[in-house]
Amino acid sequence: MIGVDDLNPYYPVTLQEARLERLRATGGPRFTFHHLDFADMPALTQALQGQEIERIVHLGAQAGVRYSLENPHAYARSNLVGHLNLLEIARQRSVAHMVYASSSSVYGGNTSLPFAVEDRVDHPVSLYAATKRADELMSESCPSLPPSADRPALLHRLRSVGAAGHDAVEVHRCDLGRRACARVQWREMWRDFTHIDDILDGVIACVDRPPAVDGEAKAGGSHSCHALYNIGNNRPEKLTKVIALLEQACGRRARVELLPMQPGDVERTFADIGAIARDHGFAPRVAIEDGVPQFVRWFREWRGV
């Protein structure tokens, strides 16, 4: 197994290094890590030279809606150039299958709930969403291009990930040490929070089952070997409920600061997981009532508080 990451400081580097050490300890000689930016094609090509690659799981990206307003070029580099580089690696080496992550942000201001993979996603409300939609379109074109025509690709539109997962989602914005506080956007915001274990279940279920090369319509409507799936909890939760669960897990009241809706954000996310349930038997296992206490225990252990 080969890992590639630049360990950039958008997320706490100490946390990334701790996860890397855990991978090294678990994988031993079966795991090789390359500390590099996958948007640097010469460096990526050199690092992978001579390596036999059967499948690619591509979860790397510059994430976050709000940060795209501050540093838009980081999104162009990682999400456009970086994604294209991995598509080219897969195409040139005739990799059997590539699974990659998009985002629920591609649904933009869609008011039809739940969000289905068949929905039109032509109206993003953030640069982050636009880059992720561009990734989907690039990936749609690749299975028909030589030298690796009919190379399957499979996409996941991920939801807000919690419990040692996505470090920028709302639960990570709370200080779980000596005080409990939260800065919450708007009172009526809802999110389809998804536990990291459920995300991994969905990704792993798809890695060894690429879309068929049969000309039939796949999830999301493609007739090539490119399928789209939502991975979510299929149960949107009000952010004020998340704060209440955090209060209960922390044993103290939160100091809540209500903010207006932030540019580029949406009121709610809600995943229709019918396609991945049908094709891969996916079903979320961890309810938010269990996931939040797990997250608090993990966070306190990691921070030593």
**Catalytic residue numbers?**
128
Per the CB < 8 A criterion, the answer to whether 140 and 212 are in contact is no
Could you give the CA distance from residue 127 to residue 133 in angstroms, rounded to a whole number? 10
**Residue 10 neighbours by CB distance under 10 Å:** 17
Distance separating alpha carbons of residues 282 and 169, to the nearest angstrom: 23
SS3 category, 230: strand
Structure tokens given for 247:
């209060």
The total of other beta-carbon atoms located within 10 Å of residue 4's CB is 20
Burial class (CB in 10 A: 0-12, 13-18, 19+), 43: middle
Angstrom CA distances, 68 to 42, 71, 196, 263, stand at: 26, 5, 24, 10
Strand extents, DSSP E, 31-90: 32-35, 55-58
> Residues in the chain, how many?
305
